[in-house]
Structure 1
Amino acid sequence: MYKPFVSLKKEPIRFVVAIPTINRADLLNETLAKYFKDFNETPIVICDNGNQEIISRNHNFEILRPEANLGVAKSWNLLMEFADNNGATHVLMLNDDVYLGKTETQIQSVLQIWKNMHFINSYQQWSAYILTVQAWKEFGKFDENIFPAYFEDNDAHYRMKLLDMNMVYTEKLNPVIFRNSMSIEKNPKLNESFFKNRRYYIQKWGGPPEKEKYCIPFDGNLH
């Protein structure tokens, strides 16, 4: 199932900005007003899980509105699918409660510096990261059994490690405004899945993050 990953395809770099959200349109709208300038020529796509009032612009912008909360993993997958369907090679995924403070030119520079990287992450807990569409397809997409949040990032990271994908962490993606768990602050019920998802992760990989034992999910047992 898992094998060494093939190097990146040589094709022009095209990225989209993607942001999942559920209940912090107040913070998102503040940053979108800035992103509309920072990423004027770059498509921005929102996955709105909370049917919120979100500001818009008349070009390079789309809001996906699922009927119910998809959770983080499925929202990320939906946004990656949108990018793939629109010819993007990379996705800059952002939390709705941070402000990146970088321009599209600066992001293009990051992509040129690390053009052989499949995954480029900030040091701020997956609040801002870049993932190639190719890598997302290869590692098997984000695990939608992990719902609504917690451990979907650990799971994807471990699968990328198993495939020996090229990954780097950089302060160049650190948001200039970083807030943590603001959706949970507004709705504490979103925090209730932590221990359930931790148990699932341990069942899947034989241990918690950084202490995994299995190289294939559930050690090859049907689940």
Structure 2
Amino acid sequence: MIGLVVVVYSNYPEALFESCLKFSNEVDFRWYLYFHGNDPAIEKRLLAFANNHPNVMFFPYGSNRGLAQSWNDALRFSEKFGDEFAIILNDDLAFRGDGFPKFVDYVRALPDGYGMATVMGMESENSPVAGKIVVQQLACCVIGKAALNEIGYFDQNFSPAYFEDTDYVYRLENAHLKVEIDERILVDHDRSTTLRTNPELKKQIDEIFGRNERYFRRKWGGNDILSSSYKTPFDKPEYTPYISFQAAVNPYPAERSRELNEPLFGGTIGLLDDIGRKHGTHRSSIEHSFLFHYERILGPKRETVKKILEIAIGQSQSALTWEEYFPNSHIYSVDKSPQDKHYHSPRCTSRSFDPTDALQLSEFCREFGPFDFIVDNGSHVWSHQILSLQILFPQLRPGGSISIENIDTSYGEFTLSFGENCPISTSEYLKKLNDKIVADSATNKESETDMFIRAYAPYIQDIVFFPRGCIITRKP
């Protein structure tokens, strides 16, 4: 059995389907068909195709989850189901004549140990390289078992498209794995059909391409395979070209970079992180990358945020970041370290006491609140995080937000150090709160035994979770 991997966005791949189906009596194959678009008419046609043909695995995601992610998933399925190999195919490509069985036979005849097999193809009159015969690379290819064993899967940080293929081929070359090319012209490629049929996406391509190019450049030291020079990712010896399936979603956690968190399509996310990196705060992409998530919620309110409270603010890095990004704000801080260790400025008011002291914290909030934004960066102990939420959420202005950082202490090895016999972890408490919000009137308010959830869940607009933290916003 041969696997055929196709990702569809806005172009129904009729020609591709027909060029393979007519040889169904000669070649046993199954489809791994992914829908990344949002056109109901195309989704309906793909569903009909899946229902009317055997051996079709159809994944109608309805959103652009990224080529690398779906390719990885399909390769994993193909391995699981015992396929001989899987052919990755662009949706705007079709085999010429009997090109499909010819390419299958070509791959079957290859000796073990190749990295990738691909084919020559004719570019259509609408292609950017119309009339030329070119190597199709990832537009029509088989990833060899040797490649999966030695360099693994695609880097999903290249999303939603562009440079994931360049990255993979560069890793093949670094591993000295050969790219085998069937020199016969076996396919026609109507390249860039998706862009021609989707004007909105075409406007976005420059931003997608630019962002992924910047990531590739950081990762390999050049703009393409010829100009790149690094032998290991980011020129660091602790990294190898190998990416496991499990790690593919973010292969290099320590290299979380600004370009990977930039919003696409005209957004401005990244300024807060730039400021945070300048001042050296740990919540920037230097370490935690929290600031991208904060900016998505607080960016539109940047000029109107007046009061910010941070629990356990520490030295100056955080306060300087808030002062620069929120020009009209005043920073309030609580930290148990001595007062002479605190950051001081005309725009910052600090107090020295243990923020787990509920009485002192409540009195502080009554004196200086309500607040537009609150950051709990305290002890990360479950009972302390839950208590802080219960005390501080009522101190938000309508439309204000509170962030709870480092709730990853609810998991794994951290539970021994941060649980301290608390009957419920912070993450479980937040899930319970989230359930109440999502259920809305479907559950009986009187049945809720937690008085905070019972009283304040109706006032919560949303809870946004992200790696190691969350932001809760109060209804306006």
**CA distance in structure 1 between the aligned counterparts of 2:55 and 2:103, rounded to whole angstroms:** 17
- How far apart in 1 are the matches of 2:172 and 2:23? 30
Structure-2 separation of matches of 1:74 and 1:218: 22
Q: Indicate if the aligned counterparts of 1:184 and 1:190 stay in contact, CA closer than 8 A.
A: no
Query: How far off its partner does 1:70 sit?
Result: 1.5
The residue aligned with 1:11 is none
Deviates more, 1:43-52 or 1:88-97: 43-52
- For residues 185 and 73 of structure 2, what CA distance do their matches in structure 1 show? 22
Residue 96 of structure 1, aligned match among 85, 91, 99: 91
- Residues 1:62 and 2:57 are matched in the alignment: yes
Indicate the residue corresponding to 1:130 in structure 2.
142
Label 1:65 to 1:92 Cα distance change in 2 as closer, same or farther (>3 A): same
- Is the aligned partner of 1:115 residue 2:111? yes
Residue 47 (structure 1) aligned with residue 58 (structure 2): no
Q: CA deviation at 1:172?
A: 3.5
Bigger shift: residues 97-106 or 69-78: 97-106
Aligned to 2:209: 194
Instruction: Report if aligned partners of 2:10, 2:37 keep a CA contact under 8 Å in 1.
Output: yes
Are 1:20 and 2:7 an aligned pair?
yes
Q: 1:31 to 1:113 in 2, by over 3 A?
A: same
The percent of aligned pairs where both chains have the same amino acid is 25
Superposition deviation, residue 137 in structure 1: 4.6
* Partner Cα distance (1:199, 1:186) in 2: 27
Measured on the aligned residues, the alpha-carbon RMSD in Å equals: 2.2
* Structure with the bigger percentage of strand: 2
Q: State the structure with more CA Rg.
A: 2
In the alignment, the residues of structure 2 paired with residue 137 and residue 75 of structure 1 have an alpha-carbon distance, to the nearest angstrom, of 19
Relative to structure 1, the CA distance from residue 36 to residue 86 in structure 2 (aligned partners, 3 Å threshold; closer, same or farther) is: same
Q: Do the aligned residues in 2 keep the contact of 1:48 with 1:64 (CA within 8 Å)?
A: yes
Answer yes or no: is the 8 Å Cα contact 2:5–2:32 preserved in 1. Answer: yes
- Deviation by residue 1:10-49 (Cα, 9 ceiling, x = unmatched): xxxx531111111101xx1233133222245211221111
What code does the residue aligned with 1:38 have?
F
Deviation at 1:186, TM superposition (A): 2.1
**Structure 1 pair 181–154 and aligned structure 2 pair: CA distance change class (3 A):** same
Structure 1 window deviating more from structure 2 (147-156 vs 164-173): it is: 164-173
Structure 2 residue matching 1:31: 3-state secondary structure: helix
Unaligned runs of 5+ in 1: 1-13
Aligned partners of 2:189 and 2:53: how far apart in 1?
Answer: 28
Contact 2:216 2:223 in 1 (8 A): yes
1:92, 1:212 → 2: CA distance?
A: 28
Greater relative contact order (CA < 8 Å, ≥ 6 in sequence): 1
2:234 is aligned with 1:218: yes
Change (3 A) 1:173 1:218: farther
Moved more, 129-138 or 139-148: 129-138
Question: In the TM superposition, what whole-angstrom CA distance separates every residue of 1:184-216 from its partner, at most 9, and x where no partner exists?
Answer: 222214513111111110000011211111111
CA distance in 2, matches of 1:131, 1:69: 23
Report what 1:87 is aligned to.
82
User: Offset of 1:67 from its aligned partner?
Assistant: 5.0
1:74/1:142 contact within 8 Å kept = yes
Classify 1:20/1:190 alpha carbon distance in 2 versus 1 (closer, same or farther; 3 Å).
farther
Q: TM-score, normalised by structure 2?
A: 0.41
Name the CA distance, whole Å, in 1 between partners of 2:59 and 2:184: 28
Counterpart of 1:6?
Answer: none
Q: What's the TM-score, normalizing by structure 1?
A: 0.83
Per the alignment, residue 165 of structure 2 pairs with 153
Count of matched residue pairs: 207
Give the counterpart of 1:35 among 20, 28, 31: 20
CA 1:110 to 1:23, structure 2 compared with 1: closer, same or farther past 3 Å?
same
On the 8 A contact 1:89/1:133 being kept in 2, the answer is no
1:153 shift after superposition: 0.7
SS in 2 for 1:193: helix
| In 1, Cα distance between equivalents of 2:94 and 2:105 | 19
